[in-house]
Structure 1
Amino acid sequence: MGTSPQFFTVCAAWLAATLKRVPWVFEVRDLWPESIRAVGAMGGSVEGDSRAIRALARLARFLYRRADRVVVLTHAFKKNLVAQGIAGARIDVVTNGVDLSRFQPRPREAALVEELGLRGCFVAGYIGTHGMAHGLSTLLDAAALLDKDPGAGDIRLLFLGDGARKAQLVADARSRGLDNVLFLAPVERAEIPRYWSLLDVAVIHLRRSDLFETVIPSKLFECMGMGVPVVHGVRGESADIVRGERIGELFEPEDAPRLAAALVRMRDNRAHSRTGYGAGARTGEPIEDRIDYWELRENCLEAAKRYDRKRLALQMLERIERAVNIRE
């Protein structure tokens, strides 16, 4: 089995399977070169692609067609591949999930709260890669709006992780004098749940792009396991999960005012249980079927059971066995 991105492991899997004359499975965790094009890297753009991008596209099609089974993370990925001429019968969908042995509700550590100066604060957090695709400047713009709001003085925005854009984000926050933003250095993976437990809500965001409507950020499932509601700025399949599972509020990607307003609503609702806050409507429309913050937390924990990684691993094993049986 080979997993992308990137393609080196997939090429190795194809070569090994060919030499040994055994079946192989291509697991697609991100669409290359589409995701490279979406962020404008390697000369990719909507106007035209570089030779490198075109070469990657040809390689991707070559590998898709030679795999015995293709396993993708989202139904939108499958639709994309079918549009490229890959037979839908050879494509299976197995989503990401959450390791419930690691990500589960836990009390805040008082010492960590004190160390980070978060006592009495409503903490919204972004935990993950600070990359080109994530559009985290929108979060800083929202923080700037909250910084000017006298009624939002207790809201803090915590960033944990690293990536290509982090240094610029830190510099921007400093130059704008944003005292309500806290950047933390990356921690060992085993330590991450300690920081999830600090969050009242998690912010998930990707830049506005048609491609990103096809992805489901893996941190969404960690939110479920930890019981942390989300303020979700990604369109498409992941937004459908947030809406369907009723685990948070949606806002349009790159819309800082709506993000800031959503954080204030979450803060207010957390303080006043059963006040009629809800996440049942489509983005930009009146919210119906209202539920409160504490119901959002309970809904997260119920959703996590449906996305338990152990269950999903069994689904993946079934797909691999199917590939073997086809060859026999």
Structure 2
Amino acid sequence: MRIAVFSQYHTNPDCPATSRHYTLLQHIARRHEVTLITTNTWERQRLTRQYPWLPEGVQMLAADIPYHNRMGVAARGWAFVKYMGYAWRQGLRIPKPDVIWGISTPLSAAWVAGQVARQRRVPWVFEVQDLWPTFPIEMGVVRNRLAQQQLYAAERRLYEQARHIVTLSPGMTDYVRQLGFAEAKISTILNGTDLDQAARATPDAVAALRQEHGLQGRPVVLYAGTFGRANDIPTLVRAAEMLYRQRPEVVWLFMGHGYDEPLLREAATRCPAIRLVPPQPRHAVFTWLAAADVSVVSFINKPVLDTNSPAKFYDSLAVGTPVVVTNPGWTKDFVQEHRCGWYVPAEQPQPLAEQVATVLSNPAETRAAGQRGQAVARQLFDRQQLAARMQLILEQAAG
């Protein structure tokens, strides 16, 4: 079977990114012919060379289109438009696929997948990684009311046209269902994690990392991910400063890059508790997470962010590190049901500092929460199993 994949961003485990589709494509390409239409945005950001850039069996067509987190609205929009034009041309040139897999974000990548599917008269599957256009609208990026209405109308048409819809969280599934689409048309396939890479975070590797960075015997709080506008980094900084006054031995590690990096660098100069860690390749992130006592998964207080499916959530639990989440969506329900973490309302530094202090003051319960999280991660988050489900959906969509 021929599968055409429209995804604006391709990464592999050498990149400081989640690399979900690397694992899924690797699995699917063992059985089917896969053509990936993407960009080379992340290829130049590889930090190591431990993995092939493409899984075996995947053919790639990649446009040279720069993109980064600090881009303004106009620059991002132009990057989206350029990818649409490139993907449309390539989608019409490749041998006719049996099914098309369109992946947002951005919504424009899924839109062009749908257009090529219509022109070539083949079914397509719409994977929703984030709720667009709801996310940019709630973030204040799209303010014009008419533009908002047009984007929502385009989103709905994509849901209608797709043979099947895949979401990355129960919250996203609820959103699509509430628009009136049948249960049978929607599947939730969690972001998940790579358990083989998580297994590299051995006790010896963790001990070596702690010794190398002077963390022996010190409680560690870790935020691992993008320092974006949506990630509520200012609240984490204030919480770290509050806790430092009571527990100066606690270290807050911020690993990543993005919009709020200057704020973090300035905070680190005035607060000894705050340390910045350079972006790490995905395969190395697990050892850092395992070295932490608790991981923070934070977002600002926007309803659309309650539906998120953040990689740091899955990766933390996979290595037995419990999590503090800050949004009242499905992740809150999950950590409370499985007793593998705690919830603190978004944008409230004092309760966050207090919760972290409580967690660090009860090491036995913290370890138990981590063990419960690791058990459920092995059961529900394995990307090899999720890839098999995605393959089945594509096969069924193709008939």
Q: Same fold (TM over 0.5)?
A: yes
**Residues 39-54 of structure 1 mapped to structure 2, 5 A cutoff:** 39-43=139-143, 49-54=144-149
Aligned-partner SS, 1:102: helix
Q: Is the 8 A contact 1:128 1:160 kept in 2?
A: yes
In structure 2, the CA distance between the partners of 1:110 and 1:298, relative to structure 1 (3 Å rule), is closer
Once the two structures are TM-superposed, the CA of residue 318 in structure 1 deviates from its matched residue by 2.2
Q: Is the 8 A contact 1:73 1:96 kept in 2?
A: yes
In structure 2, the CA distance between the partners of 1:227 and 1:27, relative to structure 1 (3 Å rule), is same
**Residues 138-217 of structure 1 mapped to structure 2, 5 A cutoff:** 138-149=235-246, 152-174=247-269, 177-217=270-310
Once the two structures are TM-superposed, the CA of residue 296 in structure 1 deviates from its matched residue by 1.1
Once the two structures are TM-superposed, the CA of residue 230 in structure 1 deviates from its matched residue by 1.0
Tell me how far apart the structure 1 counterparts of residues 262 and 151 of structure 2 sit (CA, whole Å).
30
1:106 equivalent among 202, 210, 226: 202
Deviations 1:153-211 (A, max 9, x none): 2111000001122222322443xx11100011212223222322321110111111222
In structure 2, the CA distance between the partners of 1:147 and 1:311, relative to structure 1 (3 Å rule), is same
Name the counterpart of 2:359: 266
Aligned residues: 296
User: Is it true that 1:246 corresponds to 2:339 in the alignment?
Assistant: yes
1:304 equivalent among 368, 372, 377: 377
Tell me how far apart the structure 2 counterparts of residues 53 and 293 of structure 1 sit (CA, whole Å).
44
Aligned-partner SS, 2:197: coil
Name the counterpart of 2:224: 127
Once the two structures are TM-superposed, the CA of residue 51 in structure 1 deviates from its matched residue by 4.7
Q: Is the 8 A contact 2:290 2:316 kept in 1?
A: no
Q: TM-score, normalised by structure 1?
A: 0.84
Q: Is the 8 A contact 2:294 2:322 kept in 1?
A: yes
Where structure 1 has 5 or more consecutive residues not aligned to the other structure, the ranges are: 44-48, 274-291
User: Is it true that 1:7 corresponds to 2:7 in the alignment?
Assistant: no
Once the two structures are TM-superposed, the CA of residue 64 in structure 1 deviates from its matched residue by 1.4
Q: Is the 8 A contact 1:78 1:88 kept in 2?
A: no
What percentage of aligned pairs have identical amino acids?
Answer: 29
- Aligned AA for 1:163? G
Once the two structures are TM-superposed, the CA of residue 101 in structure 1 deviates from its matched residue by 0.5
In structure 2, the CA distance between the partners of 1:109 and 1:247, relative to structure 1 (3 Å rule), is closer
Alpha-carbon RMSD across the aligned residues, in angstroms, is 1.9
Q: Is the 8 A contact 1:239 1:250 kept in 2?
A: yes
1:38 equivalent among 112, 116, 138: 138
Name the counterpart of 1:316: 390
Once the two structures are TM-superposed, the CA of residue 127 in structure 1 deviates from its matched residue by 0.3
Deviations 1:250-285 (A, max 9, x none): 111112112111221222211xx3xxxxxxxxxxxx
Once the two structures are TM-superposed, the CA of residue 83 in structure 1 deviates from its matched residue by 3.1
Q: Is the 8 A contact 2:135 2:304 kept in 1?
A: yes
1:78 equivalent among 155, 160, 173: 173
Q: Is the 8 A contact 1:25 1:68 kept in 2?
A: yes
Aligned-partner SS, 1:113: helix
Tell me how far apart the structure 1 counterparts of residues 342 and 367 of structure 2 sit (CA, whole Å).
13
Aligned-partner SS, 1:310: helix
User: Is it true that 1:92 corresponds to 2:165 in the alignment?
Assistant: no
Once the two structures are TM-superposed, the CA of residue 28 in structure 1 deviates from its matched residue by 0.4
2:116 equivalent among 9, 13, 16: 16
Deviations 1:51-104 (A, max 9, x none): 544443232122111111111122322222233344443222221211101113
**Residues 201-240 of structure 1 mapped to structure 2, 5 A cutoff:** 201-240=294-333
Tell me how far apart the structure 2 counterparts of residues 57 and 169 of structure 1 sit (CA, whole Å).
35
Tell me how far apart the structure 2 counterparts of residues 294 and 193 of structure 1 sit (CA, whole Å).
17
Tell me how far apart the structure 2 counterparts of residues 73 and 109 of structure 1 sit (CA, whole Å).
30
Aligned-partner SS, 1:101: helix
Q: Is the 8 A contact 1:134 1:207 kept in 2?
A: yes
Q: Is the 8 A contact 1:217 1:238 kept in 2?
A: no
User: Is it true that 1:257 corresponds to 2:330 in the alignment?
Assistant: no
Q: Is the 8 A contact 1:131 1:164 kept in 2?
A: yes
Tell me how far apart the structure 2 counterparts of residues 172 and 58 of structure 1 sit (CA, whole Å).
43
Name the counterpart of 2:126: 26
Where structure 2 has 5 or more consecutive residues not aligned to the other structure, the ranges are: 1-100
Name the counterpart of 2:66: none
Deviations 1:218-263 (A, max 9, x none): 2111012111111221211011111112111211111211211122
- Aligned AA for 1:128? G
Q: Is the 8 A contact 1:120 1:154 kept in 2?
A: no
